[in-house]
Structure formats: C-alpha cells, structure tokens
Chains A and B, each alone.
Chain A
Amino acid sequence: MQTTVVGSYPRVSNGPEGQRLRKAIAMWERQEISREDLRRVQVDVLREVVAEQAAVGVDLVTDGNITWYDPLSHFAAKMDGLEVGALERYFDTNTYYRRPQRVGPVHWRGPMTVEDYSAAAAASAAPAKPVLTGPYTLAALSAEGASEELVMEFAEALMHEVKALAAAGAPHIQINEPALVLRTDLPRGYNHIAGLVLRGKGNAKTTLFTYFGGVGPMLDDLLMLPFDVLGLDLVQGASTLKALAVTDVEKGLAFGLVDARNTKLEDPKAVAKAVLAFKDRVPLDRSYLAPSNGLEFLPRARAREKLEVLVTAAKLVGEATT
C-alpha cells in the first residue's frame, strides 16, 4: 500500500526562516518586492514542502498548493468570465475563500497549475501529483451556485488544464470535489462531466477526492466514475465506512484515515487495522493511505508527524498483507 496527500500543506513554520513566504507576500502587497521576487520565495517553499513529504516517505506528493490564495480563487482569478468577490467561510473550517462570480462565459485562459507542478516534479524524488478543484465544487461555491451550465463551463476549462498537465508529464492528476459531500446523490450528468474533464489526460492516472464529510449514499455511483482512484475522507466522513463495508471495490481507494483537522495523533497500528478491515473488498495494492483532507489546517510540525503516522501505518499494512 502506498501513501499520498490530498493537496495543501502548511506553508509556514516556526522561526523567521519558516515565515519567509508570509513576509514575502506582505512585502509584495506593499510593493516592496517584485512579482518575480515573490515567485522565487514561493518556489523555494514549494520545494521545501515537497522535499519534506518525500523525506518522510510519502510515495505520491503534491506541491502543497503553496501558491494558492484559496482553492476557489486560485482558479477563478485565472479563468476568463469570472470575478473574485466577497470572503466566505470554506465549508465548516476556520478558513475563508473569495467567492467567484461569473460575469461572462467561463473559459480557460492558460495554464493555472502547470508551473507549480513542474517545480514540484523537479524538486521531488517521489512522483508529484497536481491537484485541481473540481468543476462541481468551483460552481457550487461560486455566487450563482451549481447550475448545470456553470458546472459544464468549468469542466471544459479544467479539461484544458488537465491536458496541459498531462503534456507537462504529470503521471497522476487529482480532482478535488469536496462539495459533493453536501449532496446525497451525484449531480445530474456528473459521469459525463468527469469524462469531459479527463478527456485530455493521456496516460496519466487520475484520482477523484471528496472530503469534509461522508459520501455513503452515492458511493456506488462515485465508484463508477472514470477515475483510477477514489479518495475518501473517513474521519469527518466516517459515515462512509458503513457503505464501504458492504461494497466490493474494484478500483483503488485513497483511505483518508488520518485526521487532517485535529492535532491529536493517531496510533499507526489503529490506522493499519482500519485499512486491513477492507483487505478482502478493496485492492490494497492499488490503494493509498492519506490524510482526511489537505494538511494545511494543521501546524507544520504536526502535519509532518501525521505523515509519519501514515507512512508507518502503510508499512504495517504492507507487512500484514505479504
């Protein structure tokens, strides 16, 4: 069993050196440094968090979403037809995002994540996985909500991004759809929408990750979607475990079993045991152990310790299944 992360990673840590990105952004906002100066610091921190994940032993790393203001406006600000508006709470977290508002037809303007992916790939011994916020979540958290038309426009825009990432050599691309947990069924036509997003993926493997809640009632439908791996938050979404217990799964799962929203550390043995309960129903050799969602909700040192729990638990699963 391999290990991966969901996307974000804490971008500051204790001490002056750990806060260099925060300082650089403040200086850039005051126009004391150039955009290029800021980018240098961003890439430096991005490399550091990639290296940190790899050093702990994570098999499939991310860029930590280091350059994202938030998971919505990072994309909305880079697409045509959208403005970035008021601050809104991001799900039930203590973080906020700027709400996108459609002001015209939404179009892909150019790569939004490729540079960061390339920087991560170059800095990592382990393969890097770019992450995109999915079309349903982008629409559902925008001012007008998830109209079919808007979801479709986002899907078309993301299709171009997936294509650009595949062309840049991304071996694995992940679509994050946390807003699906707010529903009890898949949005109408989501299979088609997912197919559209992934149309240009080439040989890249793909993951769909849902988090901040359970998806039990739609688990069967999620498993039918054209992704190689389905990522599940099994902490805040522990209710999904019940549905999972009676489902035979053919594709890989990303078991989000380590709580990325609480500092309390799990016992790796307990995490391994929770995974092993599914060894006869889920192909563990194609599956991953993961945090329940992005790790940015934790302090940096604790995020790293959570990764250590993941890696240790994955080893225990490996030992128990060979």
Chain B
Amino acid sequence: MSNALRTTTVGSFAKPDYLQRARNRHSAGKVTAKELDGLTRQATKEVIEVQKELGLDVFVHGEMERGDMVGYFGENLPGMRPGELVRSYGNRYYHKPVIASEVRWDAPVTVDLWRYAQSLTDKPMKGMLTGPYTIVEWSFDEHYGSRREAVLAMARAIHHEAEALAKAGAKYIQVDEPAIHTRPGEDFDLAVEAMGVVVKGVSAEFHTHICYGDVPKIYPGMLRLPVTQIHLAFKNANFELLHLLEADPWDSKKELGLGVLDVHDHHVESVEEVKEGIKHALRLVPADRLWIEPDCGLKTRTPEEVRKKLRVMVAARDEVRRDLAL
C-alpha cells in the first residue's frame, strides 16, 4: 500500500432496510438478539464488500450494531442507561443516554464485531470508539454534576475499551470527538486531558474525528491532542478550513484526515472538485500524512449515494496520484 493519500471512511454506513426493520422488530420483542446479531453480521459483511470493491486502504466495520455513536455506549457501559429520543437537527433524532451512576468498564463492548469484521479482510480494520468528552456532552448527567469528573471517568472506561481493541489486534483506533469544540474557551484542555487518558499505554495508532462546530476556535490548539491523525470535515464548507493551516502550519508529526465528501448533501461531488480540494491540502500537508475521507459517517446517505460518492473520492485520489506522480 502506497502511503500517499491513503483512503478510509469515518465510521458509519447506512443500514440496509432489512437490518433497520429487524432492529425495530427487536425493540418490539419480535426478533431475538441472536437473529439480530446474525443480520448485523450479514450487513457488516456487505459493508466490507463495498469497501473491497472500491479499493479503500483502511476499512471500517460500518457500525451496523449501533443506533448512534453515543447512544450505543449508553446502552453498553455500566453506569449509563439508554435514553429516549431527542432531536439533533433537521429530522434526525438520537436516543440520548443518561449517566445514572459511576461509569465503569466491565468487559469489551466493541471487540467481538471488530474481530468478525477484521476476519473478512486483510486490510486493516479501524477500531471505532466515541470519545469521552463527546459521550458526556451528548448525555444527560444525573450523577456527577461536574463535567470534569464525568469526562475523566468516561475517559477511563474508553481507555479500557481501546486497550481491549489493541490487544485484539487493532492497528488503528479512531476516537470520535465531534463535540470537542462545544466550549472551546472553557474546557478544551479537559478534552485534551481526557484523550491522554484514553490513549495512555495503548499500542495502536489513534485517529480522532472532529466535525462541524467552531473548528477555528480550537486550531491550532487541537494539535495538542495526543493522536496520530486528526480528521476534519472540509467539504461541508468547500475546503474553507484549509485557510487555518495556511495561517498556522499543520504539525509536522501529525496526519491530517481530509473530509472531501459532504455527507449531508444528496449531490454527488465531481471528481474535479474533490481533486481541487486534495491538491489544495497537498500544498499544506505532505502526501504521506494526508488521508482522504468523507466529511463524517456515511449513515446519513443511502447505500447508492454512498457508492457513488466514494467512487468519486477514490477516482479523485487516483488521478491526483497520477497527476503528481505520487
């Protein structure tokens, strides 16, 4: 695998109809956990096939088992309880969990499905976790009453999960922190400290994904995050954020994940516009440290849109490699 402009995706894929129906029926007690698990694995296999077909470099398992990135941990970490639906924007809702008592980690949550997904391919499979700051920020805290205490307790739980993934063989672990810029002046340092707790002593390459919100307020401060790669959503605002890197250079030791597909837009990008974004980024970050990815998880798009968009992404990457002889 060439290290120039590696491709991957951010985590989630759209659930096929049969799985969504089965999940609904499982909630209603009409499908057993075993049946649902079988269908989850079938859908995971399909996600892997799509990535094989498209020729991506680092795979994800697609998060077929997760309703959403925070609610899933709310269902599985001791001390949390699943919540009820609240709206995040537009017509999108999620089950916002509740921190009801001391948050703990008793056993691996994500490792089984990661192991299954990795068994289907020789390509590296990313371990996918949600970061402690985001889980706390997007939950109702009825227990701690102090954001600092809650975030650090959550960080210890997520650290155990990262450790379990690394022990199982995950080379890359992504810790999503889309809420990290919620209060940039007030507690960005807390989010950095929490990431330090998550990664400490775990032998894997850590990526983090940050999207939307006030990214300029946490740049260049975000370069203090103890991870190998920081991924940002660039296409959503037509690569405007690259101007930040023109003003303050990217960290020479870090990789940049360049979001090149708007996951909230039905419109399929042209190869040319994606190439333009990649070439702009290459003036700021060398090819071996620049990864090409969608802006965010792909679950917001239909399977057909996902294929079309990812095809464009890979084609643009290939053409840039050819154009620049990378």
Contact A96 B88 (CB under 8 A): yes
A29 at the interface (CB under 8 A from B): yes
Tell me the nearest residue of chain B to A301, going by C-beta. Answer: B84
Given contacts A87-B236, A262-B141, contact A12 B214 (CB under 8 A): no
Contact A92 B182 (CB under 8 A): yes
Contact B96 A299 (CB under 8 A): yes
**Bound complex: CA A263 to CA B83 (Å):** 10
Contact A300 B181 (CB under 8 A): no
- When distances are taken between beta carbons in the complex, the residues of chain A under 8 Å from B88 are 94-96
Tell me the nearest residue of chain A to B183, going by C-beta. Answer: A92
Contact string, A20-31, partner B, CB cutoff 8 A, digits 1/0? 001001100100
How many chain B residues touch the partner (CB < 8 A)? 27
B193 nearest CB across to chain A (Å): 19
Tell me the nearest residue of chain B to A262, going by C-beta. Answer: B140
A79 nearest CB across to chain B (Å): 20
B18 at the interface (CB under 8 A from A): no
Tell me the nearest residue of chain A to B264, going by C-beta. Answer: A87
- When distances are taken between beta carbons in the complex, the residues of chain A under 8 Å from B181 are 89
Shortest 9 CB-CB contacts between residues of A and residues of B? A299-B84, A96-B89, A89-B213, A263-B140, A25-B91, A264-B142, A94-B138, A92-B182, A86-B237
From 166 to 201 in chain B, residues with beta carbon under 8 angstroms from any chain A beta carbon are 179, 181-183
Contact string, B117-147, partner A, CB cutoff 8 A, digits 1/0? 0000000000000000000011011100000
> Which B residues form the contact surface with A (CB < 8 A)?
83-91, 93, 96, 98, 137-138, 140-142, 179, 181-183, 212-214, 236-237, 264
- When distances are taken between beta carbons in the complex, the residues of chain A under 8 Å from B236 are 86-87
**Bound complex: CA A208 to CA B241 (Å):** 35
- When distances are taken between beta carbons in the complex, the residues of chain A under 8 Å from B213 are 88-89
- When distances are taken between beta carbons in the complex, the residues of chain A under 8 Å from B89 are 69-70, 87, 90, 95-97
- When distances are taken between beta carbons in the complex, the residues of chain B under 8 Å from A263 are 83, 98, 140, 142
**Bound complex: CA A96 to CA B183 (Å):** 15
Contact B86 A69 (CB under 8 A): no
Contact A94 B137 (CB under 8 A): yes
Tell me the nearest residue of chain A to B95, going by C-beta. Answer: A299
Contact string, A274-309, partner B, CB cutoff 8 A, digits 1/0? 000000000000000000000011111110000000
**Bound complex: CA A231 to CA B18 (Å):** 48
Contact A300 B91 (CB under 8 A): no
Q: Which of B85, B88, B96, B141 has the most CB of A within 10 A?
A: B85
A322 at the interface (CB under 8 A from B): no
- When distances are taken between beta carbons in the complex, the residues of chain B under 8 Å from A297 are 86
**Bound complex: CA A26 to CA B90 (Å):** 10
Give 9 CB contacts A-B under 8 Å: A10-B87, A69-B90, A87-B236, A94-B96, A95-B88, A262-B140, A263-B98, A296-B86, A301-B84
Contact A299 B182 (CB under 8 A): no
**Bound complex: CA A130 to CA B287 (Å):** 54
